Structure 1
């Protein structure tokens, strides 16, 4: 006899029984998978937090890695419209009276006029010389003024000439401008015709008009005359760069240079704050809460503990600053407490910035051995592409894939278990149904025997 649904023959809830057995097998394993996945996700998130903290620490280190970034100068030009100024660590504090007599100018010449820029000029060659360097372009008979300009500008060996077309009431002309200012960058042009005299008539001799003479800049610093080929005047005052913007020999502007102690201290305080923030992140990511008996994502992780150990070691080490002298952070007023955090003795640090700036620069900025450079090298090993954090994340990705493979295999195993159980219970159901049918037939026959009394 065929059954149309499970449990009909035995009156047992076979579907519920099979589900209960499968769930009893499946639930603990799925919970384990979920816990392992959550653990990995927590570690991935923790690595992201650690990388972010390291990156912020590196941002603070950048301001201490070189003397130019650490030993700063404040520059004031008042309300001068004649120049702007910047100063590096070599600039000494002082005040200077500056006059700008003349700005540097680029040499500019123009050829003879044509009716329009599309007109052809001639056939031959144009050769240019600027500051002792030369190049040339070949001119075809079909080349318009615009085509000649393009050939000059696009020449691979162009030594510093820009060609433009200027159209006025007088017509169109080719204008040649030196790319740099100063008397050394004058343009000379030699036109050679292979047919006719078109190029000569446009560019040679009196046909080439000087539109703007080349000129050097001229300034006076406390009465001393300084001439420059450009409008950028470097190191006329040691460590100072002046960018000239206007000229008036009758106007004196005051340039004042001071050591920027406020910014230096701010940069050092940002370093201290970033270090403390990084160490707090490390502690939080690797902690264990005894009360809740809960471990942080990276508790016991050898990588983060190694990082913490190296940071603390570097912070406490002395650095060779030259002349046989070594310094440590505490010599500058930066102390380490028993929790590994840094604090600043403002009075001691202010005194060091005022009187020992060279030593502070040596402590932080010495190439390779300076504290900021060594810390940058250490932290970069963790955050760079292919670094320790990426390696750890790659390992976590492999772990996640392994769990995904295990889940897939386990799901197949559970499907097979469910199918096997249904098969077994359905066989049992058929047997019970058959026995029930035989029992019912036997009872009917017994009841039909003579002498059977029915109640």
Structure 2
């Protein structure tokens, strides 16, 4: 029956019921909305506060870690010759490095053959220095240059050996490359030919024992016919040398000196010559490598500490302030105004910042150029911080690090707020419980108002039915009286 306009009475029952239920719902609904808004705002602010505290804790952790003050930097005077990286164990100092040659790996081109011809069958054995790859079987399934290339790539991938085909002026060649650098790690190829195919190329053509001595033309000349001998010599030269296998790159070791001491390695990346130091040589030449304390890194971490602290304090100031607007408007009240836990947090942090520590030249933040502004945030004089780090590196380290250092003490003050089951989590759980209660009360209010609405509809519909009956009775009586003899109705 809900929503039906009164037929008997002509009244808008729906409008009447809506007005009554709205009026009855409004006070409680407004109360719940205000409570939900206030609680949600506080819950959001506490979440942001926890995030700001976590960021501050991260900055403290970075500044308190050994790597912050034990870190070293490695600088090469000529990065085209070498670059370097350094660990905490490296000692500060400088090294004069002279690079004579770089390490390189072997690359050979096997004899030029007809790239389209079949090749006799057998076994191919490739060695890199003293290391031999598994024998490569050449049979009817792979006895072409392409097939042999693919077989070498499959067998050699675990040993860093690869093959490709290059066609030059003399024919198609298998070019073999190794990733293993160092003197003595040259590529050689041994062949065991076991079968012959019709019009096939001998498998022995692919054998390579190392660089051949370049033939001299006079070795092929004939005394009785110098002109003919010269032509024959040219032909023999081409056949015996230029079409044969060639070494394209010889495997060699890196050779250098460090402060005059000879160092030979099979790689251009060297990490076992100087303790704590790894460097990569790029080209022959000289470079001075300087190892120093990472003062710039410490300065950057101190700035991160100041920035994270200021972010935390700025947020707290905003959320705990009451800001007047004008004489007619309510002031803007921060979500955490009057919050005792926030006041306690601020007081505990500030007490640690102003407490002097130790007996050295750096006993407080002010000793290194970090002072407190009126609003409680910190102001950092970068030049003074740089000077303090440069002149008293150990003093700055002692002030910030260790169990009794500033970062450790501040961390201890923050832990009760951010740990599981801590102050902020307990406050968050309490606020979330309030929001859950608000949601339950909203459901109860909806249920109650639905019952009120149904009751009102029943009452008004009953009234409407009664009015309709009374109207019907009135109409019947009027008709009865009109039909009675001698009854005269005066009409205008």
- Mean CA deviation greater in 137-146 or 311-320: 311-320
Task: From the superposition, tell whether residues 51 and 114 of structure 1 become closer, same or farther in structure 2 (CA, over 3 Å).
Answer: farther
For the pair 1:183 / 2:216, whether they are aligned, the reply is no
For the pair 1:297 / 2:331, whether they are aligned, the reply is no
Map of 1:152 onto structure 2: 155
SS of the aligned residue for 1:100 comes to strand
- Mean CA deviation greater in 386-395 or 335-344: 386-395
Map of 2:308 onto structure 1: 274
Map of 1:353 onto structure 2: 389
* Structure 1: stretches of 5+ with no match in the other structure: none
Displacement of 1:404 in angstroms is 5.6
Map of 1:432 onto structure 2: 467
Q: Where do 1:156-175 residues align within 5 Å?
A: 158=158, 160-169=159-168, 170-175=171-176
Task: From the superposition, tell whether residues 304 and 191 of structure 1 become closer, same or farther in structure 2 (CA, over 3 Å).
Answer: farther
Displacement of 1:231 in angstroms is 2.0
Map of 1:16 onto structure 2: 15
Task: From the superposition, tell whether residues 135 and 162 of structure 1 become closer, same or farther in structure 2 (CA, over 3 Å).
Answer: closer
Displacement of 1:23 in angstroms is 0.5
Map of 2:299 onto structure 1: 265
Map of 1:418 onto structure 2: 453
CA RMSD of aligned residues (A): 5.3
For the pair 1:212 / 2:215, whether they are aligned, the reply is no
Task: From the superposition, tell whether residues 120 and 347 of structure 1 become closer, same or farther in structure 2 (CA, over 3 Å).
Answer: same
Q: Per-residue displacement from partner, 1:232-279 (whole Å, max 9, x unpaired)?
A: 34475665544221214xxx5455555554553343123112212223
SS of the aligned residue for 1:246 comes to coil
Displacement of 1:360 in angstroms is 3.3
Q: Where do 1:359-374 residues align within 5 Å?
A: 359-364=395-400
Q: Verify the 8 A CA contact 1:67 1:361 in the aligned structure 2.
A: no
SS of the aligned residue for 2:92 comes to coil
Displacement of 1:121 in angstroms is 7.7
The CA distance in 2 between the partners of 1:387 and 1:118, in whole Å, is: 81
Q: Per-residue displacement from partner, 1:107-148 (whole Å, max 9, x unpaired)?
A: 445555564499778565757667x87764764733423432
Count of matched residue positions in the alignment of Structure 1 and Structure 2: 436
- Mean CA deviation greater in 132-141 or 384-393: 384-393
Task: From the superposition, tell whether residues 19 and 204 of structure 1 become closer, same or farther in structure 2 (CA, over 3 Å).
Answer: same
Q: Where do 1:304-453 residues align within 5 Å?
A: 330=365, 333=368, 341-342=377-378, 349-350=385-386, 352-364=388-400, 407=442, 410-411=445-446, 413-442=448-477, 445=480, 448=484, 450=486
Map of 2:24 onto structure 1: 25
Task: From the superposition, tell whether residues 148 and 353 of structure 1 become closer, same or farther in structure 2 (CA, over 3 Å).
Answer: same
TM-score (norm 2): 0.65
Displacement of 1:204 in angstroms is 6.3
SS of the aligned residue for 2:389 comes to helix
Displacement of 1:425 in angstroms is 0.3
SS of the aligned residue for 1:230 comes to coil
Task: From the superposition, tell whether residues 63 and 444 of structure 1 become closer, same or farther in structure 2 (CA, over 3 Å).
Answer: same
Q: Verify the 8 A CA contact 2:56 2:308 in the aligned structure 1.
A: yes
- Mean CA deviation greater in 387-396 or 398-407: 387-396
The CA distance in 2 between the partners of 1:15 and 1:330, in whole Å, is: 72
TM-score (norm 1): 0.69
- Mean CA deviation greater in 357-366 or 200-209: 200-209
Q: Where do 1:82-97 residues align within 5 Å?
A: 82-87=81-86, 90-94=90-94, 97=96
SS of the aligned residue for 1:183 comes to coil
The CA distance in 1 between the partners of 2:56 and 2:204, in whole Å, is: 66
Q: Verify the 8 A CA contact 1:44 1:396 in the aligned structure 2.
A: yes
Map of 1:64 onto structure 2: 63
Q: Verify the 8 A CA contact 1:149 1:174 in the aligned structure 2.
A: no
